[in-house]
Structure 1
Amino acid sequence: MELEFPARKLLVRLVYTCHIMCLVTSQLTKKEDIEKSLQIIHDVATSNLGELCVTTQFSPLYVPLDTTKFEATRQKADLAATLLLDLGISHHNDLQDVIPKDLIVSDINIISARVLAINSSTRELRNCIWWQRQGLEMGGPTKLKEGIPEIGQKLSSDYPWYADADSTPSLRSPKFISSPPDISYRGWWTFPYYSCSARKWLMSYSVSIPPPGRHGLKGFLSLDVDISKFEVNQCEMKLISTPTEIEAFHGSHKCHNKTSKCYYKPTKTYMSWTRGSYQCVCRDGYYSPHHNGIFNGTLVEVAFNAMKENSSPFWGDIFHCLQCAPGCETCIGPQPCLATYHWAFRVTLLIFSVTCAICTVILIIYMFRHRKLKVFKVASPIFLAITLLGCATMYLEMAAIFPVLDMYSCIATKWSRHLGFCITYTALLMKTWRVSLTYRVKSAHKVKLTDKQLLQWMVPILLVMLIYLSTWTLSATPAAEVITDSVGLKFNQCTYNWWDHSLAIGEVLFLAWGIRVCYNVRNAESLYNEARLISYAIYNIAVVNIAMVAFHLLIFPKAGPDIKYLLGFIRTQLSTSVTIGLVFGPKVVRVLRGQGDQWDNRARSRGVTASFSLNGIGLVSEEAPDLYQENEELKEEIQKLAAQIEFMKIVHMETNNRHVKPKIGGYFSNLNAPVIHSPLSKQGCLLSKPPEEL
């Protein structure tokens, strides 16, 4: 049992190998037969008959034809053969004459029919009734008067419709094709052949009529069908093809399948049996500098045969289509279809942007190391860090749009652009909005807005942006589409749809609210001029984004990928880098000069105390109170009150004592008219009249 299984396995492999070899051999034989048949068709079409019609009277093609198209004709022949068999072929000569004339040749598809009576012993031809169909103007079928050669090898070779049953058992001669599967015919169809006498392409159906015994006459009935109207279509078979096409020739064209496609072009003449009745047309994505990419099938056939026989390179050089440049669906030449990416230029901009992002992160670390300094402390370090984080995110957009855009890079582009903008702009706006609320307070009561409270307002805004971007990514994932520039070159760009438009409208409204808040605090005073610088940054963000949208839509609507990348770089630098420069530049400069822990004397001189800062007027700090700072502020307030009391005393004394004349050079002298600065006013008051007139 252990030896049977390997032996069986080896036998199965051997049978499988033999089967494959038989299939390959069959395909090669079939291909050779088709090529020989095509050569015969070409010789007949060009009247280059050669030996045909000189030494032989017919030449079979050995390619099968669908015989079911002549089913009615076959049934007539089988019926006639049955009648002759039942009634006897030796006693009814009139019947032999009537059947070919009136029953068979009357069919419009049949051009000739014949009935032979042959002595089964001597193989001598005893009788031959042969009728041929002529045109209707001739009055119907005509009986041939010429005789036929003696029965024997000559008859068997000169006529395609005859084969002796003694030499070919059951009439399985190579002249006949196999019957269709699961269908029983009384006779056999011949292969298509060209008849030199009829000058047409024919097929014959032959039926043998056996004798009643060993001796006697055996009959042979055959008919010829005109198939000259059939078409030799060498292109690939289509789903819907005409019933007159010979399926055996499908796929026998000589077009280069990879680069060109075959299109059947039937001839306008009656002679439809021609080789090369097609055109080879370059496929999409290929072109040819010769003949506009359309090649005549006859020339292709000649060039292919020359390549096979003489190794001529003409077929490969002329009739092969060349591949278009990358990205071209169709083309007429080697011109490029894709826009060129100048990678050195793009890498330079990318390196600069990534360097800016790294510097932004370094600035965050630097700020936290010096967060105890007054210049950072009064400006809310947590919001400064959030602002820098958003700027770093916006810088990374240049990395997202750097490569050839696809779905993943488009997703990264949308997230880095919109999320970075939302983080940066919201952090700046929260600080400005706090100033707006505290600046508009008219009472002595302090408004307590801490960083924690502002973060509670900021988180919902960021959460809405995160939900929107997540829904956008999952439901309608941003993808890249192919667009063309001003010269027709293609490149990828992220799609813009109603998701982009809706978000753009929301961001414009958000910018409009920020501009309104900045306008409300235009006269607000703060330490280190923080409020005004943030307002300038918000104005700059709005102007840059609106200007870049106008550039894209109006000035550079058909810009190439490098120009669009440059515009993105300019927008990022003008909005992000300028924001960092306005908000953080003065602070870093003060720290580098060693003035980071000193108060803004210019703001203090205008009456701005340490608590009157961007954190809010009267902001209650979340940290432990600084007693030294509070003492300094109390001293300032006491000094101001003392100055006010002294000023009022002098004014009251001069007013109630009119006899007291002002001293020359004094406060109330008409000659000097000094400028008196009131502690209650930020601007000086010019007393142009003496106290008596006041």
Structure 2
Amino acid sequence: MVFLSAKLEDGHWTKPYFDCGGGNIWMVTGKASVDIELTNIDINQCDLDTRHSYSDFDVFRGTHRCPSTTECKFLKGQGFKRGAYECFCTKGYYFPDMNAQVKAFSGLEMENSSDTAQYKCLPCKEGCSKCVDDSPCLYQFQFLFRFLLLLANLLTFIGIGVLFATTVYFRDESVMKAGSPIFLMLMCLGGLMICSTGFFAYPQPSEFLFITQHWVFHTGFCLMYGALVAKTWRIAIIFRSADKFKIVYLPDKELLKRFSPLIFILALCLLIWTTSEKRKTQTLKTSNHLKYEVCMRSYWLYAINCVEAFLLMIGVYMCYIGRKAPGHFNESKYMTWAVYNGILLGSFLLILIHLIGNSYGPDILYLFQCLQIQVFVTITLTLIFIPKLLSLYRKDDLKMINDSFNLAYGCKHMRTNSKDITQTKAVATQTHENVGAYSKDVNPSYNCKLTKLELTQGIQLVHKLWK
């Protein structure tokens, strides 16, 4: 290491003198010149980095002429001259010249230019944190495609409203009583709620819409399929009890009491999900790297799906138990088809959504959601209500009265009296709850040989029509 020092011949010096009062010391005064080469010293005009402390070489900091859409980057080894920097585009902006090898503005050009307004980067498209051109980063909705789906969903919603009004208007008809009007209306209400989720999913997504959509959809699902499974369960219980000629009392009020815990469990899960999850949305990308927002799947939503799947499995088991029920016994055949439709086609659509839906963007997800509405709502309500509407149109009630009396009282030596009929009418209910009660009112002296299935069917039809 070499230390430089000034010598006597390097400057001009006075003779030694005594400094009185200043320090009371002997001293000498002189001057010397120092030459320093600045050619190899770099001038850094970029902004001072707050992570480093200020030094004597930072006197030129912050004198660059980069515009606000760029950031200054220092070029080392340029020597003692201005413009030793480049202006690179900041995040959210891109360089306008796509074909440039160095996508930055030269600092020397900036220093020599009188107008720096022409040197600016262009903003990226909405949703892009960084970009190299003006290509979009957010998925752009195909509004015509979505509008057609929304229109189909609206027509479905109106159709369900018509079914609800029809059920209320014809609630005293036997064909409606056979299916319990209160449960038919619950199914329509659930269908309306499921169908309304198509309206929430149409606009740009937000956390409020996601929360509302899940609350409405899952509540509607449990109302609709809970009512359907409850009706199927009552059929299975009544039919099994009818084989043993036992009295089963399951009115609508009693069935609603057993139906309510399902709604409570669902509401509790949805409430925990709403309060526990702080962030309800997440950003996904399509196969073309376009970003879009979707609802974040959490453990509580999967738990709700498991509850709904368990509900459908119970319905499948109830359908298996009551598979041999008579055809006119609470439309059991159509209810069985409706439950199978919900679990098979519904599960298939859910698998498609998780496997390929996210890769093709929100439009395909919206299509799958509308198909899900048609599977869970349209097909199910069609299976339940179309036979009833056809019966109302053909006025099958009178025919069913004749068939029921021919079946139950068609034996040659069958005898009855007004007291028997009165008792039969007294024990019958709107939903055929007292299947075995009629068997006790039948005169034991009847000389009629009927199969168990025929007797069960006749008893149920007579009870219904006398109500």
Same fold (TM over 0.5): yes
Q: Does 1:238 align with 2:171?
A: no
Deviations 1:224-277 (A, max 9, x none): xxxx887533222322225436555333221121x2122233x226x3x33122
Shift, 1:93, TM fit: 11
What letter corresponds to residue 541 of structure 1 in structure 2?
A: G
What letter corresponds to residue 457 of structure 1 in structure 2?
A: R
The equivalent of 1:573 in structure 2 is 374
Pair 131,392 (structure 1): closer, same or farther in 2 beyond 3 Å: closer
Is contact 1:432-1:614 (8 Å) kept? no
Shift, 1:199, TM fit: 6.0
Q: C-alpha distance in 1, partners of 2:40/2:282? A: 51
Q: C-alpha distance in 1, partners of 2:338/2:366? A: 23
Q: Where does the alignment leave 5 or more consecutive residues of structure 1 unmatched?
A: 1-79, 98-113, 115-129, 133-197, 202-227, 308-314, 622-629, 645-677, 684-694
Question: What is the 5 A alignment of 1:444-455?
Answer: 444-455=245-256
Q: Does 1:249 align with 2:65?
A: no
The equivalent of 2:464 in structure 1 is none
Question: What is the 5 A alignment of 1:113-128?
Answer: 114=31
The equivalent of 2:135 in structure 1 is 335
Q: C-alpha distance in 2, partners of 1:410/1:543? A: 26
Name the SS of the counterpart of 1:306 in structure 2: coil
Name the SS of the counterpart of 2:387 in structure 1: helix
What letter corresponds to residue 510 of structure 1 in structure 2?
A: L
The equivalent of 1:268 in structure 2 is 77
Shift, 1:426, TM fit: 0.5
The equivalent of 2:234 in structure 1 is 434
Q: Does 1:372 align with 2:172?
A: yes
What letter corresponds to residue 374 of structure 2 in structure 1?
A: Q
Shift, 1:353, TM fit: 1.3
Q: Does 1:306 align with 2:128?
A: no
Q: C-alpha distance in 2, partners of 1:268/1:416? A: 66
- Alpha-carbon RMSD across the aligned residues, in angstroms, is 3.5
Name the SS of the counterpart of 1:491 in structure 2: strand
Shift, 1:475, TM fit: 2.3
1:352 is aligned, of 152, 155, 174, to: 152
Question: What is the 5 A alignment of 1:398-477?
Answer: 398-441=198-241, 442-477=243-278
Name the SS of the counterpart of 1:329 in structure 2: coil
Q: Does 1:484 align with 2:255?
A: no
Shift, 1:416, TM fit: 1.9
Question: What is the 5 A alignment of 1:52-201?
Answer: 86=19, 95-97=28-30, 114=31, 130=32, 132=34, 198=35, 200=37
Is contact 2:127-2:138 (8 Å) kept? yes
Q: C-alpha distance in 1, partners of 2:194/2:375? A: 12
The equivalent of 1:279 in structure 2 is 86
Q: C-alpha distance in 1, partners of 2:347/2:121? A: 49
Q: C-alpha distance in 1, partners of 2:435/2:146? A: 47
Q: Does 1:549 align with 2:350?
A: yes
Q: C-alpha distance in 2, partners of 1:200/1:620? A: 116
Name the SS of the counterpart of 2:396 in structure 1: coil
> Percent of aligned pairs with the same residue?
26
What letter corresponds to residue 276 of structure 1 in structure 2?
A: G
Q: C-alpha distance in 1, partners of 2:451/2:445? A: 9
What letter corresponds to residue 222 of structure 2 in structure 1?
A: C
Q: C-alpha distance in 1, partners of 2:276/2:254? A: 34
The equivalent of 1:297 in structure 2 is 107
Q: Does 1:521 align with 2:322?
A: yes
The equivalent of 1:39 in structure 2 is none
Q: C-alpha distance in 1, partners of 2:258/2:89? A: 65
Pair 605,263 (structure 1): closer, same or farther in 2 beyond 3 Å: farther
The equivalent of 2:310 in structure 1 is 509
What letter corresponds to residue 408 of structure 1 in structure 2?
A: F
Q: C-alpha distance in 1, partners of 2:246/2:230? A: 21
The structure with more radius of gyration: 1
Q: C-alpha distance in 2, partners of 1:85/1:363? A: 119
The equivalent of 1:679 in structure 2 is 450
Q: C-alpha distance in 2, partners of 1:343/1:531? A: 42
Is contact 1:232-1:245 (8 Å) kept? no
Q: C-alpha distance in 2, partners of 1:457/1:406? A: 36
Q: C-alpha distance in 2, partners of 1:605/1:551? A: 52
Pair 641,384 (structure 1): closer, same or farther in 2 beyond 3 Å: farther
Is contact 2:18-2:27 (8 Å) kept? no
Shift, 1:548, TM fit: 0.8
Deviations 1:142-201 (A, max 9, x none): xxxxxxxxxxxxxxxxxxxxxxxxxxxxxxxxxxxxxxxxxxxxxxxxxxxxxxxx4646
* Segment drifting more, 416-425 vs 607-616: 607-616
Q: C-alpha distance in 1, partners of 2:46/2:397? A: 86
Shift, 1:325, TM fit: 1.6
Number of residue pairs matched? 419
Q: C-alpha distance in 2, partners of 1:606/1:477? A: 64
Q: C-alpha distance in 1, partners of 2:404/2:72? A: 86
What letter corresponds to residue 344 of structure 1 in structure 2?
A: L
Is contact 1:530-1:583 (8 Å) kept? yes
Shift, 1:411, TM fit: 0.5
Q: C-alpha distance in 1, partners of 2:84/2:56? A: 12
Pair 616,247 (structure 1): closer, same or farther in 2 beyond 3 Å: farther
Pair 602,425 (structure 1): closer, same or farther in 2 beyond 3 Å: farther
Higher percent of residues as helix: 2
Shift, 1:84, TM fit: 7.8
Shift, 1:642, TM fit: 5.5
1:592 is aligned, of 393, 407, 413, to: 393
Q: Where does the alignment leave 5 or more consecutive residues of structure 2 unmatched?
A: 1-12, 410-423, 455-467
Is contact 1:281-1:294 (8 Å) kept? yes
Pair 383,131 (structure 1): closer, same or farther in 2 beyond 3 Å: closer
Shift, 1:588, TM fit: 1.5
What letter corresponds to residue 389 of structure 2 in structure 1?
A: V
What letter corresponds to residue 569 of structure 1 in structure 2?
A: C
Q: C-alpha distance in 1, partners of 2:405/2:275? A: 54
Q: C-alpha distance in 1, partners of 2:298/2:277? A: 10
Q: C-alpha distance in 2, partners of 1:285/1:602? A: 78
Is contact 1:373-1:597 (8 Å) kept? no
Q: C-alpha distance in 2, partners of 1:564/1:84? A: 97
Q: C-alpha distance in 1, partners of 2:445/2:262? A: 45
Is contact 1:230-1:245 (8 Å) kept? no
**Structure of higher RCO (CA pairs closer than 8 Å, 6+ residues apart):** 2
Moved over 6 A (4+): 600-614
Name the SS of the counterpart of 1:493 in structure 2: strand
TM-score (norm. length: structure 2) = 0.80
Is contact 1:284-1:330 (8 Å) kept? yes
Is contact 1:293-1:321 (8 Å) kept? no
